Structure 1
Amino acid sequence: MTIRLLGRTEIRHLAREIDFRPRKAFGQNFVHDANTVRRIVSASGVHRQDSVIEVGPGLGSLTLGLLDRGARVTAVEIDPVLARQLPKTIANHSHSEIGRLTVLNQDILTLKADDIDELPTALVANLPYNIAVPALLHLLAEFPSIKTVMVMVQAEVAERLAAEPGGKDYGVPSAKVRFYGEVRRYGMVSPTVFWPIPRVYSGLVRIDRYEKSEWPTDAAFREQVFELIDIGFAQRRKTSRNAFAEWAGSGNESAERLLAASIDPARRGETLAIKDFVRLLQRSGELAPPPAPAPEPAVRESERAVDPARS
């Protein structure tokens, strides 16, 4: 049976039928353009063997596109009204595919591997703007089984995620996602394909996890590297020598650690690639352990989207 994708009229009719009004707090803007859905699913490379996590499925536009591709989908929806409605919508549009859908009414930032029956191989989502980066980093850390990511985010966030060292958009998110894999832009998405229409453009970003990482990927090592990234970008105008002084213990020791990692102490953090941060941690460990890091917040402000500008 061919799956029928949702259109603009159908999206609005469905919302009226369940007396639903999009909530800005949840970043609820729903794709109603079938061509955009097909473009996202095609670019994701998802196929029948994949188990996909979808974040914020909403009224089900992208969910239907993923099921049409033959994938199994775990849709994580924080809104209880939408979570209850989604299986009904999928059943109405494709009776034979409902068995490949699991719906969880849960905050994506609290999702753990034990919460789902099958480990995902891909993440495909129209991420809510206000939690896009924290959600992305959480899922990459929690599910090493995710090999491919295709997400739609605010255009400015897409630029930051895909930015290269030294560029004006390069920052904490740019470096941290590269701990996991290669990052590429996949173009822009017009606000007109959404209901309600957001005030900003969206961008598509694909991440392919490294087949074999050049550095350890355990949680303890990752947290130490991420601490260095936060330090390096805390004051962008500082030289690396000054930026890492408190972490290293003194200006001279900071310079020593940087030089041991083949990093010019005069360089700024915004020019350091993920390999530089990793090497700095590893070579510093060969010299002497740096002071214990301070406790870090659950979600760093530097990881949040700049402007959750959705109508």
Structure 2
Amino acid sequence: MRLYKQAAMPRRDMDEKGYMPGHAFAQNNLGCLLRDGRGAKRNLTEALRLFRRAAQRKNPHALHNLGVMYEFGLGVKSNGQAAVQYYHQAAREGVVQAWVNLGMMFDQGSGVPVDHPQAFRLYMEGAKAGHAMAMHNVAVAYRDGRGVKQDWVMAYEWYRQASEKGNAYAQASLAWLYETGKGVEQNDAAAAKWNRAAAEQGLTVAQLNLGLFYYNAVGVPMDLVRAHKWLALAEQFGHQGVAKLREDVETKLKPNELLRAQRMAEEFDAAPVIEEFTVPGPARPRETAGP
């Protein structure tokens, strides 16, 4: 934190004009720390100022971060049009996350008119660059026929690629495809595998599904202890309507089994996969989970 501050500060007598405006990379990174409250008290006003300074020097990630600030109204009044402009600039400079964010703006009509085909093209740019959420969004477009002709096989293929890169939303959706046989041969064991992968990352819908799989012996042997664990976690992390299911499982457990299930739930620590290209920032509320 201290080194970022030193590098980000303007200094005199450092160039032919007698003034060095500070290192744009350090300004952007310090802005991220202040925006997110990491290593220092959260300060959105100062973060915005640092992003602007770095953006003036064409730092591509600062351009993207300004888009985030304007989109979500962080330290500045929310302005979708300004967010789109900054995302455009960052995307042209190769920031893959900016392609994805821009696609979401076109998908939702935020700062621009709704344009699903354009959103699909932008997601595809990100997907080709290996961005897992972009791959997920391409899959959603094929699944729903939004901006492209509906194609369950292509939806499966993109969900599979995103899942292998660790995207929990894609993993839960891929599990649903295997469970229902949409776009791929029906396979309960594969459905259980991908639900487990998403559940381990803390995705509540996958935790609920995995609990039901263990309860009903779908793709896995019946295991009421694990069923209780996953249902309890889904309930704890906000999934509605789980309490009755968990209580039903609880009536079938011996006291020592219930204690083991409760201990397993207490010791659970979600381990989300961090996407390689994601610039640190607030969670995007428009990420669409699968069916």
TM-score (ref. length: structure 1): 0.28
Structure whose residues are more often strand by fraction: 1
Bigger radius of gyration: 2
TM-score (ref. length: structure 2): 0.29
